[in-house]
Chains A and B, each alone.
Chain A
Amino acid sequence: MKIIKFLFIFLFLLVNQLLSFQIKIQILNETKQPQDNLRVILIETKEAQFTDSQGLVEFDVPKEGFYNLRIILNDGRILQPSIQVLGKNQTIVVYTSQPKETPITKDNQQIVGEEGITIIGKKQKQISSVYSVKLEEIKRIPGQFGEALRGIENLPGVSAPAFGNGELSLRGSNTDSNAYYVDNLPIAYPFHLIALNSVIQNELIKSIDVYTGSFPANYGDAYGGIISINTPDNVEKFGGLTTFSLWSSSVLFQKPFDSKTGYFIIGARVSYLDQTLISFIPPNTVLVPKYSDAQVKYKFNLSQTQSLYFYLIGSKDSFVGKVKEKPFQNPLEELPPDLIGASVAINRDFLTIALRHSYQPNSKFYTESTLIQYINRFYIDGSIGQIKAKLTRNKGYSSFRNDSNWELFKNYLSLDFGFNLRNRILTNKGSTLRVTDPLNPNPNPYKTDPPDFEQVPVNDKDFTPNHNAYVVLNIKHPYFEFYPGVRYEYFGLQKQEVVDPRGTFSINITKEFQIIGGGGIYHLLPKGDQYSKTSGNPYLTFEKASHSSGGFQYKQEIWIFRIEGFKQYYDNLVVGDPYITTPIKINLDPIKRWTEPILFNAPLYFSNKGDGFSYGVELFIKKDLPPKTNGFYGWISYTHSVSKRKDHIHRPTEEEKQRVLSADEKKLLQYYDNSQLYSANFDRRHIINFILGWKINSEYQLGTRWRYATSPPYTEIIGDDGGITKNNGRPIFQPKFSETKNTVRQKPYQRLDLRLDKFLNYEWGYGNVYLELLNIYIRDNPAGFAFDKAVPYSNVNPTVANEFGNLEISISSKRRIRIPLFNIGIEVKF
């Protein structure tokens, strides 16, 4: 009942507010320059605001008529003009002094001496295969717990699981084939281990460019797509933002230097869900998840042509989990038998530190040089069944990067070029686990005869050159734009070199209508643990993708309509390989190395045998909301995508299983490729996102999101192993999977979310309280199959595992009802 009352009061207040309307006041000086950071008070409503960089403030008024303003000027003077409000959306200009007739300088220019300089460089140019969104468009999308970065999951070409950790499949490419950048600096992962928060605070995001494919040659370390996060490059006044939720709090400050020579932004977040959600932890279980992150951006203008930036972006996650080996009071509450006694401790963090110098001597040349130190650390200490692993891994790089832009012919031809001289770091120490048969879909940690896992000692200390360089030509003509480019990559471990030609184009049929397209070759270095000399295959080559896309775009002032088709081929994908060996390897096992210092035909675990393809169509219809206006905005995105893979790993036939083969013969089987093409794990054929925002007035905003997605494929469970392994007397029934991979799909995913924002405007800023309701029509959305390992396979085991998308509450001792999952968030900006 309390919830119903609460909603009723909320709706009443909402209707009351709908009767008011919005007006804008613009404050200009005598030369018609906007006056920012002035305090303006509407005396009748007692509402106070500060003007923005355009000199604008917004007020809500109950009806037409005369109102009085109080404007406090920077020199301490107070103006009290009267204004007449004639209707909604009216903009009233107020001059601080009698205006003179002088030209206004263009926004995108700054004056140096007698010459105006257009700010160049760092601009996203291509149209094909990129979607750009601003913070305001994604920040308040319902169902994402206030995380702006999650908003990109609603764009075309993006396949993401609900409540995922940011591992997106872009146009059907692998989820680990994308790269996230913040102002061209790397971040190791976008979301914390418990994926409730991203590692970048909302206020540090100005806009995001999501390249779903065909990305330009200046981006590397990916063959799928690029998520490029752009941070604000201007701070007008001291301010900040703080957020509170059930699981974490954050704070961010920004301040311009008094001498107007730059600014700094500093933010941090810390979680406490290990305390607030402690009552949800099952009995006999220890779960301690913790995370924190911090961001610093510092800009100092050395002169009008040179600036110095300092960045620090860091994140830390830790997780301790343990299931105690003691009987549960209620046997029905007992966790799966294989987890009893298991324990794991994980620490992961990354730190990106960069010092950047930008220099723009004139309108034709811009260059920025960056020193980067990027390190990503991972530690695990865990045991389950017979297996134990303890590993510390550091990876990252130190680099000197330069990016430049040179305008060869004004408005027609310019050149982007750059290089990155970097030394890649990989250190591994401890022992890791490898499955003895990568084709086994469900390796059993309790199996000993023979074991499904192998403990492999690791001891890597590699500092390997991994340089790259690129050139992109920007050819512009009134009828077309063409951006051909080429990228060179070098990796020192095996002295591998690749050259990737890439390009996009757009042809202007009319001012609004464009034909767009692009394509290219893309390479990605395998992961550190895959090319590890001691626990992987150091002979692995770059993974490769070929992209092609084409379509058209129709763009009017606030409307965008775009259709784009794509086809991508993947080669040299790294797959688990039970056959690949190396003739000689030094034995790193600390004990066995004394008796057997050299290993012959040692397994390498991974090979480049995988390949595949994806194809599909993206549709995007978007309506923008002009700044400082009320009304509707949003988009509809539709993606049809088919993504297939083939690992080219021989599967033993029934006849081969019956026959005992020597190691030499088993090795030769790899040349008999009987592998099948299968749908990729993340292959969702149809995805629709409907995002609608309604900015009602300066105090209320309503948002809705509806998402439809076909289920990803699963490999069918067809039986169990008879419970041959036991954990302290408890039989463990391991599921037996079908030989044909990923052939079963569940019913589609559907979810409607709502979010209502209430803004409380004050003289010093605003407060934002929001209520999110997730899965409004309480649909059971499948999220895979749940197999209870305590009991054998049957008609009711496995069952469909539903996503956590609603809540159950008791309304009496016997009756429980389900309500939408809700979230209340608070944000205070000053």
Chain B
Amino acid sequence: MKPTYLLFLLLGLLLYCENISNYEKKESLRNLYVFLNLPDEQKILTVCKESETTALNCLSGSEVMYISILNNFYNTTISNQNPELYCKEIINSQIGKQFSYDAKRCHFECNQNFWSTVNCSNTTELLSSYSKCLPGIWIRECSDQNFKKCLQNCFLNGTPIWFIN
């Protein structure tokens, strides 16, 4: 047998030895997709503005109470009702800094989902529900099942990326 054939035979044997499942490759690809989709500050500002605009639209007439809840929770001094102006203050507050960009995205997206799906007529009850689902305290106190489910999906399960599998 020529040495070249022997070399090919050994090479083939070695390659055959490690014929592992490609699950790991797929998992890496999925995680790369997650990584590329992580938000930056600009994206968070956009999400925040959209979320806050939806909330304020729903709470027409009760905006002051809403801003007061935000100030109490984030320990901020928001005086206006313009998300363009106060979102940056929320994001950079001491409380806000305890959350990563993607964690903030979770909250703003779930907030938006909450305010866009509820019946906006009973604002007192809505504000009560909302204040129980604020960042950090939702795990124990949040009683709105849709709101809680949304947060659980984002904080415990993550983005489902099933199309690559």
Interface residues of B (CB under 8 A from A): 13, 16-21, 23-24, 27, 30-31, 34-35, 37-38, 98-100, 102-103, 105-106, 135-136, 139-140, 153-162, 164-165
Asked if A499 meets B154 with Cβ closer than 8 Å, knowing A601-B160, A660-B100, the reply is: no
Expressed in whole angstroms, the Cα–Cα distance for A599 and B23 within the complex equals 18
Main secondary structure of the interface of B (DSSP, over half): helix
Q: Is A584 an interface residue (CB 8 A)?
A: yes
Taking a contact as CB atoms closer than 8 A, the residue among A449, A497, A521, A659 that contacts B140 in the complex is A449
Tell whether, in the assembled complex, residue B99 and residue A660 are in contact, meaning their CB atoms are under 8 Å apart.
yes
Q: In chain A, what residue has the closest Cβ to B20?
A: A541
Taking a contact as CB atoms closer than 8 A, the residue among B17, B38, B155 that contacts A498 in the complex is B17
Number of A-B contacts (CB under 8 A): 95
Tell whether, in the assembled complex, residue B161 and residue A583 are in contact, meaning their CB atoms are under 8 Å apart.
yes
Stretch at the interface among A353-361, A664-672, A698-706, A758-766: A664-672
- Chain A contacts of B156 at CB under 8 A? 663
- Chain B contacts of A539 at CB under 8 A? 21, 23-24
Taking a contact as CB atoms closer than 8 A, the residue among A450, A496, A584, A660 that contacts B160 in the complex is A584
Expressed in whole angstroms, the Cα–Cα distance for A581 and B159 within the complex equals 11
Expressed in whole angstroms, the Cα–Cα distance for A663 and B99 within the complex equals 12
Expressed in whole angstroms, the Cα–Cα distance for A671 and B16 within the complex equals 27
Expressed in whole angstroms, the Cα–Cα distance for A394 and B157 within the complex equals 31
Asked if A659 meets B159 with Cβ closer than 8 Å, knowing A521-B17, A583-B165, A668-B31, the reply is: no
Expressed in whole angstroms, the Cα–Cα distance for A450 and B154 within the complex equals 17
Tell whether, in the assembled complex, residue B158 and residue A659 are in contact, meaning their CB atoms are under 8 Å apart.
no
Expressed in whole angstroms, the Cα–Cα distance for A668 and B103 within the complex equals 14
- Chain B contacts of A663 at CB under 8 A? 154-159
Give 22 A-B contacts (CB < 8 Å), ordered by A residue.
A496-B20, A496-B21, A499-B13, A500-B17, A539-B23, A541-B21, A583-B160, A583-B161, A584-B160, A600-B160, A658-B98, A659-B100, A660-B99, A660-B103, A661-B103, A662-B102, A662-B154, A664-B38, A664-B159, A665-B102, A667-B31, A670-B31
Q: What is the minimal beta-carbon distance from B100 to any residue of chain A, in angstroms?
A: 5
Expressed in whole angstroms, the Cα–Cα distance for A521 and B16 within the complex equals 13
Q: What is the minimal beta-carbon distance from B26 to any residue of chain A, in angstroms?
A: 9
- Chain B contacts of A659 at CB under 8 A? 98-100, 103
Size category, A interface? 20 to 34
Q: Is A494 an interface residue (CB 8 A)?
A: yes
- Chain A contacts of B154 at CB under 8 A? 662-663
Asked if A664 meets B102 with Cβ closer than 8 Å, knowing A496-B21, A581-B158, the reply is: yes
Q: In chain B, what residue has the closest Cβ to A609?
A: B24
Expressed in whole angstroms, the Cα–Cα distance for A202 and B164 within the complex equals 57
Interface residues of A (CB under 8 A from B): 449-450, 494-501, 521, 539, 541, 580-581, 583-584, 599-601, 658-668, 670-671
Expressed in whole angstroms, the Cα–Cα distance for A456 and B141 within the complex equals 25
Q: In chain A, what residue has the closest Cβ to B156?
A: A663
Tell whether, in the assembled complex, residue B19 and residue A497 are in contact, meaning their CB atoms are under 8 Å apart.
yes
- Chain A contacts of B164 at CB under 8 A? 583
Expressed in whole angstroms, the Cα–Cα distance for A449 and B140 within the complex equals 9
Asked if A662 meets B158 with Cβ closer than 8 Å, knowing A496-B20, A497-B16, the reply is: yes
Q: What is the minimal beta-carbon distance from B156 to any residue of chain A, in angstroms?
A: 6
Expressed in whole angstroms, the Cα–Cα distance for A498 and B15 within the complex equals 10
Q: What is the minimal beta-carbon distance from A559 to any residue of chain B, in angstroms?
A: 41
Tell whether, in the assembled complex, residue A600 and residue B17 are in contact, meaning their CB atoms are under 8 Å apart.
no
Tell whether, in the assembled complex, residue A662 and residue B157 are in contact, meaning their CB atoms are under 8 Å apart.
no
Q: What is the minimal beta-carbon distance from A539 to any residue of chain B, in angstroms?
A: 4
- Chain A contacts of B155 at CB under 8 A? 660, 662-663
Q: What is the minimal beta-carbon distance from B17 to any residue of chain A, in angstroms?
A: 5
Q: In chain A, what residue has the closest Cβ to B164?
A: A583
Expressed in whole angstroms, the Cα–Cα distance for A739 and B103 within the complex equals 27
Tell whether, in the assembled complex, residue B161 and residue A499 are in contact, meaning their CB atoms are under 8 Å apart.
no
Expressed in whole angstroms, the Cα–Cα distance for A666 and B99 within the complex equals 12
Expressed in whole angstroms, the Cα–Cα distance for A81 and B96 within the complex equals 106
Tell whether, in the assembled complex, residue B98 and residue A660 are in contact, meaning their CB atoms are under 8 Å apart.
yes
Expressed in whole angstroms, the Cα–Cα distance for A494 and B23 within the complex equals 10
Expressed in whole angstroms, the Cα–Cα distance for A368 and B81 within the complex equals 87
Cβ-closest 8 pairs across A and B: A663-B158, A600-B160, A539-B23, A662-B102, A583-B162, A494-B21, A660-B99, A664-B158
Asked if A667 meets B21 with Cβ closer than 8 Å, knowing A449-B140, A499-B16, A660-B100, the reply is: no
Q: What is the minimal beta-carbon distance from A546 to any residue of chain B, in angstroms?
A: 11
- Chain A contacts of B30 at CB under 8 A? 583
- Chain B contacts of A600 at CB under 8 A? 153, 157-158, 160, 162
Expressed in whole angstroms, the Cα–Cα distance for A664 and B157 within the complex equals 8
Tell whether, in the assembled complex, residue B19 and residue A498 are in contact, meaning their CB atoms are under 8 Å apart.
yes
Tell whether, in the assembled complex, residue B135 and residue A601 are in contact, meaning their CB atoms are under 8 Å apart.
no
Asked if A661 meets B17 with Cβ closer than 8 Å, knowing A583-B30, A671-B31, the reply is: no
